[in-house]
Amino acid sequence: MRKIVASLFISLDGVVEAPETWHFPYFNDEMGAVVGSLSETSDAMLLGRKTYQMFAGYWPNVGPDEEMAAQMNDTPKLVVSSTLKSVDEWQNSTLLEGDAIEALTALKSRPGKNLNTVGSVTLVRSLLRAKVLDELHLLIHPIAVCHGERLFDEGETVPLELVSSTTFKTGVLHTIYRPA
């Protein structure tokens, strides 16, 4: 059975917004291996509207020499949005229509690799609330960003169970959680 797996770069104070402004000094081969492994074990990306629009504005326009361009452009993308009418601007993108939780639950029961959610914090919160997220990979960076959107907003309690944790040489902590 497929799993829905989310992975996020996150600061010590819970910020997940704009990791491109604070995350790169901590990126090393250990983190690259985790990111690569998550990609290898999935056959589709699951994206929320904001992340889709940000990625669709960048990845289709980069040359084939750009690292990860082929992977990002060739991988099927499933987009969850109640406001987008189409996702035609980026190849291999499909807009999930109707009830996204029902559609994702059905997709989980089909053969295939995992569905990998990249970024998309609003979507990740929704998946956690609906209890359809199977794993949450957090790459916790040793920095307090002190501004920006956080993973957990005001709302209900989200109990999680720690599956594993690994500390990288940079001080980044890779944790894997599943719903408790």
**Domain enclosing residue 172, as ranges:** 4-46+99-179
Distance CA 176, CA 122 (A): 19
- What's the alpha-carbon Rg for the chain, to the nearest Å? 16
Distance CA 117, CA 45 (A): 6
pTM of the model: 0.92
Q: How many domains does the chain have?
A: 1
Looking at the domain assignment, is residue 76 inside a domain? no
Looking at the domain assignment, is residue 90 inside a domain? no
What's 119's domain CATH number? Answer: 3.40.430.10
Helices (H), the chain: 29-40, 49-56, 69-74, 100-108, 121-130
Looking at the domain assignment, is residue 115 inside a domain? yes
Closest CA to 4 of 104, 120, 74, 122: 104
Closest CA to 52 of 17, 18, 84, 22: 84
Looking at the domain assignment, is residue 89 inside a domain? no
Per-residue pLDDT of the chain (180 residues; tens, 9 = 90+): 899 999 999 999 999 999 999 999 999 999 999 999 998 999 999 999 999 999 999 999 988 788 788 889 999 999 999 999 999 999 999 999 889 999 999 999 999 999 999 889 999 999 999 999 999 999 999 999 999 999 997 777 889 999 999 999 999 999 999 999
